Structure 1
Amino acid sequence: MTGHRHIGSVRRGACARLLAGLAGSAALAALLSACAGDQTGSVITPAVIKVPEQAPKTTGRARTGDDADHAKLVASFGGEYRSPAALKLLTEVTERLVKASERPDEAYAVTLLDSPVVNAFALPSGRLYVTRGLLALATDTSEVAAVLAHEIAHVTLRHATARSEMALRSQLVSRVVADVLNDPVTGAQLENQSKFTLARFSREQEFEADTSGVRVLAQAGYDPFGASRFLEALNRTLALKSGTGTASEPDMLATHPATTERIALVTRAARRIGAPGLGVDERARYLAAIDGVAYGDNPGEGMVRARRFLHPGLRIAFEVPDAFTIENTRNAVLGTTPEGSRRLLFDQVEASADRGLEDVLRATWNDGIDAGSVENRIVGGNPAVTALSKGKDWTFRLAAIRVGETTYRMIMAAKGATDPDPAFRRWIESLRPLEPEEAASLKPAHLRLVTAAPGDTVESLSRRMIVPDRAAERFLVLNGLERGASVKPGQSYKLVVE
């Protein structure tokens, strides 16, 4: 969570979506296709793959406003990340894939984003984006090539343009019925139906891009099974993140199919090409290129350490109750229990120091607040106002707390009528100043390659990692190893270290 971003007003529906996970920018959603998932960085110039002068300079529609979209995307993902070796590899892989694609003369620009989330996406203009979080998860060149091939397929198949046209057409139909024909009920029904149609269309596009991507991957000389290996690693990462041992499945309006469905599809596509062992994976080359890449949260954006959140820039820290797993995002800290029945949100709100905290709380929460529940308190020496809000499906505890001249909001939700007040009070009372010495001691984590020595085991290597929990499981996922696997002396492995 940055020190200058805020959420000004949250309705119950918006809050539920935010507490459920990250939401993309609505203005950019129609332009990009985010495919892989699941911070201030150095600004660098994206690597541009050169093509002959007579070749088209754009893909899909014209680059109208593309620079503005690019700048917004880069800013929303923490800026560009400086890793010349990794960017060079991505550029060379992209060039090789483009030459093997159905449109070998189109131009692409690759941007590496300073974000720990596992993500990759493309604009219809040919801009490709890969996060450092994705680089950390992949274990060889064929896996990251599979992701890039998938994104290139979205561009060459003009998926974003088709999706935008369908969305605009659906909006137009529902608006005409509601406004021109004066039938708002039918208009609302059509709009709701169009959402399901668009979601189904988007999932079909993902399957099409997966199939095309595997074909191009093999034609470029890479291992076509790299796609299924990466998706397996992604599924295992999502399971670790959920805390339940299984990855969460998309709902009916999800624009992406379940990862397990995609794994089955790309595995079948690879088998149609040939048996495992085809193509190259270039594991050693890939690991050398990502050695030293930052891992996890950037201290400047706040850091999660087990159940603690620490923000050196804001000089604050807090600890969430047992059973909560928290994630630091660009705009807020989000948390959930494994079964999803309790969730929390922490963010910063824009409010002048002389504005009453009760007024701030009501202004940033557009649902009813139980008048008798409003309470003025002192939390850790700071003025605070807490309140209760009851919805149909969730019960919310809210707090606005002023630390110095900055106002923070803390929200805990419990499914049903259960009041989360006891856990909520423990959480807000844990908010405290972060001492300068503690802030200075927080170092960013990064990947480091180590060569396994005789006698090394998964357990001995994973004990050297600085990860919040389940170090052995995370070591296995990061290195593409199955449970029960052994490390091989002389082979390189990724560790997460300071």
Structure 2
Amino acid sequence: MRAPIRERDNSGKMKAVTYRSRGSAAGARHEDTVRVFGRRMVLVGLGLSLAGCQSIFDQSYQSSIGPSSSPQIVEEVQKDDPRAQMGAREHPRIVASYGGEYHDEKTEKLVARIAGALTAVSENPAQSYRITILNSPAINAFALPGGYLYVTRGLLALATDASEVAAVLSHEMAHVTANHGIERQRREEAEVLASRVVAEVLSSDLAGKQALARGKLRLAAFSRQQELQADLIGVRTLGEAGYDPYAASRFLETMAAYSKFTSVEPDSDQSLDFLSSHPNAPQRVELARRHARQFGPEGTYGDTGRDYFLAGIDGLLYGDSPQEGYVRGHTFLHGTLGIRFDVPDGFQIDNKVEAVLATGPGDVAIRFDGVSDAKRGSLTNYISSGWVTGLIPDTIRPAKVNGLEAATARASADRWDFDITVIRMGSQIFRFLTAVPKGSPALESTADVLRASFRRITREEAASLKPLRVRVVTVGRNDTLASLAGRMMGTERKLELFRLINALNLGQVPTVGSRVKIITE
């Protein structure tokens, strides 16, 4: 969550680093930034999201190709390309919704080196790419028409070598090569028109909804076909560039493991989202391996580029950026705002640019944000000023939260009950919205934890807050799996996360003299 917070403000200072690459045919998948209601997030607010590839690829290879000392500017090279103009229109929105760009010279050179190796073997040497590292802990990568490629620092932190990053980028470049962006845009425009006809012609609301659902399924199937085609092209490019072609399947498995690790309910079935635009992970892993076999058995071909990859991400920011506060276990802290609060045990905190979200067992959800307090009116009047849907006026009460002026209320809508707590601190009003299924006894207990734990932090506490970073260390003779994992910070499940970010299977231990990643300050 960024500070200072203003209502409806997702803007941020945006800078760009441009690389001139050569490769793939013109065109790309067009992924609009859209407002969506996420699962559970629907209970507490609207979030910005992008329907992109959910970082299920890897990359490989090392080469001598690096960023040019006098790069050609993408805007100049592609100024007459309508696809590039389309990507340019969406670029600022992408950057803003993902927390801005991440700038670190050695990390940028790493990504440029990998992209250069891939584009050198591309089918279209006239294609230019603008590669952006997004300042987000999310695991994601995607493409826009005209050669706009994006990868998050969260994905770079999860990858174990350059071949896995190369797999991600080669997949996204494949969307450009296959013109998926233009094809998908045309299909979506046709479905929007069809949906309007359905809504206007069919008298039955149920029939209309069923028709719209069938349309979504057709789009999803079309998108899955695109993804599989990009898998094929991406793995082939990966191998031709000299990277380990099996990196794609490896990173797919890492992604699946990380998804389970971050899930509030690890054993829940993640495949129930049948409208997902991506094929299921087991299918993609097997297909990626099948494509890779054309280069030979696993372990016999290609380079992983692990050494220069680790050098390029040593010191990489991990998790939340200082401007958005910090998540430490069940606690959220923000040095600039001078606040902290806890969520109940069993909850998972997701610190987004626009708000802090938390989800817990039993479909309980929390949203925390803040707005400017310019009018300095009463907080009870603020709650009733129209921003809460389903407000129950008789429940509005003034309150105190650890000595701070506050107010509380209840609301109800559809199948959900809400607790609203607002707290004044300086020139800000901070807002907690807690949502539970109607009638759930968890509403009061969850809101009580938030109110009891919210407080100012001292200057000493604020000064002690430091961002987490990826640190690369060499395994010593006296190091053990437990001692290395014990150095991890920012998680209560240190051993699990250490294994994940180093791709260590059960029973595997780091060898003396090898280098591993740890997360620390």
Q: CA–CA distance in 1 between the matches of 2:334 and 2:472?
A: 28
Alignment deviations for residues 187-231 of structure 1 (CA, whole Å, 9 cap, x no partner): 655444323322332233222222221121112111111011112
SS in 1 for 2:117: helix
> Where do 5+ consecutive residues of structure 1 fail to align?
39-45
Is 1:304 matched with 2:347? no
Within the candidate set 274, 279, 292, 1:257 is matched to 279
Partners of 1:52 and 1:316 in 2: CA distance: 43
| Equivalence for 1:96 | 117
Among 443, 446, 464, the residue aligned to 2:469: 446
| 1:3 aligns to 2:3 (yes or no) | yes
Q: TM-score, normalised by structure 1?
A: 0.87
- Rounded Cα–Cα distance in structure 2 between residues aligned with 1:397 and 1:151: 42
Match of 1:133 among 137, 154, 159: 154
Q: Deviations over 1:287-328 (max 9, x none)?
A: 111111111111221000111100111111111112212121
Return the alpha-carbon distance in structure 2 between the equivalents of residues 15 and 243 of structure 1.
15
Contact kept? 2:138, 2:152, Cα under 8 Å = yes
Amino acid at match of 1:36: S
* Match among 147, 150, 157 for residue 178 of structure 2: 157
Contact 1:124 1:160 in 2 (8 A): yes
Asked if the contact 1:59/1:125 (under 8 Å) is kept, the reply is no
Counterpart residue number, 2:423:
401
Q: Is the 8 A contact 1:47 1:109 kept in 2?
A: no
1:77 aligns with 2:98: yes
CA shift in 2, pair 1:238/1:154, >3 Å: same
Encode CA deviations 1:354-374: one digit per residue, 9 max, x unaligned: 344345435565532233332
Correspondent of 2:225 among 194, 204, 207: 204
Indicate how the Cα distance of structure 1 residues 15 and 454 shifts in structure 2: closer, same or farther if over 3 A, else same: closer
Note the alpha carbon deviations across 1:142-184, whole angstroms, 9 max, x for none: 10000001110111112222222111111112224545x5858
Choose 78-87 or 300-309, whichever is displaced more: 78-87
Identify which of 174, 190, 196 aligns with 1:169.
190
Asked if residue 345 in structure 1 is aligned to residue 364 in structure 2, the reply is: no
TM-score for the superposition, normalised by structure 2? 0.84
| Identity level (%) | 37
What one-letter code is carried by the residue in structure 2 that aligns with 1:259? Answer: A
Task: Please tell me whether residue 371 in structure 1 is matched to residue 398 in structure 2.
Answer: no
Amino acid in the other structure paired with 1:141: A
Cα distance in 1, alignment partners of residues 286 and 47 from structure 2: 27
- Give, as a single letter, the amino acid of the residue that structure 2 aligns with 1:268: R
CA contact (8 A) 1:320 1:427 kept: yes
Matches within 5 A, 1:383-394: 383-394=405-416
Residue 485 (structure 1) aligned with residue 504 (structure 2): no
Partner of 1:43: none
| CA distance in 2 between partners of 1:223 and 1:400 (Å) | 53
Task: Tell me the residue number matched to 1:328.
Answer: 351
Q: Which amino acid is the alignment partner of residue 223 of structure 1? A: D
Q: Which moved more, 1:232-241 or 1:474-483?
A: 232-241
Query: Which of the numbers 292, 312, 329 marks the counterpart of 2:315?
Result: 292
Q: Does 1:118 align with 2:118?
A: no
Contact 1:150/1:209 (<8 A) preserved: yes
CA distance in 2, matches of 1:227, 1:204: 17
Contact 1:295/1:446 (<8 A) preserved: yes
Mark the CA change 1:283 to 1:414 in structure 2 (over 3 Å): closer, same or farther.
Answer: same
**Is 2:518 the counterpart of 1:495?**
yes
Counterpart position of 2:446: 423
Counterpart position of 1:42 = none
State yes or no: 1:238 paired with 2:259.
yes
The separation in 1 between residues aligned to 2:367 and 2:452, in whole angstroms, is 15
**Helix, strand or coil for the counterpart of 1:489?**
coil
Q: 1:25 to 1:318 in 2, by over 3 A?
A: closer
- Over 3 Å counting, the alpha-carbon distance change for 1:391 and 1:435 in structure 2 is same
- Distance (Å, rounded) in 2 between the aligned partners of 1:226 and 1:58: 35
- Give 5+ residue unaligned stretches, structure 2: 10-35, 58-65
Shift of 1:481: 0.7
What SS does structure 2 have at the residue aligned with 1:100? Answer: coil
Query: CA shift at 1:439, angstroms?
Result: 0.7
User: Structure 1's 428 and 151: CA in aligned 2 closer, same or farther, altered over 3 A?
Assistant: same
Question: How many residues in Structure 1 have an aligned counterpart in Structure 2?
Answer: 481
Distance 1:363 1:47, change over 3 A: farther
Query: Which residue type is aligned with residue 177 of structure 2?
Result: T
The worse-fitting range, judged by mean Cα deviation, of 215-224 and 376-385 is 376-385
Which secondary structure state, in structure 2, belongs to the residue aligned with residue 135 of structure 1? helix
Instruction: Give the aligned residue type for 1:361.
Output: I
Alpha-carbon distance in structure 1 between the residues aligned to 2:174 and 2:459: 49
Decide which moves more: 214-223 or 168-177: 168-177
